[in-house]
Amino acid sequence: MTFQIQIKKTLFIAIVYLFAIIMQITAEGIACFKCYASQPGHEKTDLLCSQFDGSPRFQVHCPSSTLCRKRTIYSKYKTSIITTVERDCAPQKRTVPIYSDNKWQNKEEIVTSAYKEGCFIGEDRGAPAGPPEYCFCGHHLCNSSQSIEIINIYHIFLSITVLLFTTLL
């Protein structure tokens, strides 16, 4: 019986270790999906969100972000509402001028408090179909969701880990 408990504990530690390596967000940034909304007048045809399939060609490394962003835009066309989605890194980089060594230099910093994880409706600027919706999430490739709700896989994993840990003790 003690041998089985030892195997379970080893398996548990291995799972936690692997997850920590895979999901860790470091100072070097986060991996997000990036795609562009196809709107009239835009010439970009690469990485259109209408062709988004979650494949590696839509993945980007975001060295100046700790969050991924998904923006849902509502447009009115004749009598219908068209929904378009953009995915990208959260814009968190700020350039601050500093005076050092008798000269001005620009220092770049990441503003981690710029956004909170979750979704919110943007400012209403009078668009006929309403304001856009912004969703921010803080784990790798988390902005792939088609739905409004972003499921935080980290919290799910943490809950499973706690449950597994309590059953092993």
pLDDT by residue, tens only, the chain of 169 residues = 576 767 777 766 656 555 554 454 445 789 999 998 875 555 556 788 888 999 999 999 999 999 999 999 888 888 888 888 999 999 999 999 999 889 999 998 889 888 999 999 988 887 788 899 999 999 999 998 754 344 455 556 666 665 666 665 5
What's the domain range around 143?
A: 2-168
Is the CB of residue 67 less than 8 Å from the CB of residue 154?
no
Is the CB of residue 148 less than 8 Å from the CB of residue 135?
yes
| Amino acid 131: pLDDT | 92
Separation CA 93–CA 79 (nearest Å): 39
Is the CB of residue 139 less than 8 Å from the CB of residue 156?
no
Is the CB of residue 69 less than 8 Å from the CB of residue 87?
yes
| Amino acid 24: pLDDT | 47
| Amino acid 8: pLDDT | 72
Q: Structurally, how many domains does the chain consist of?
A: 1
| Amino acid 124: pLDDT | 85
| Amino acid 56: pLDDT | 94
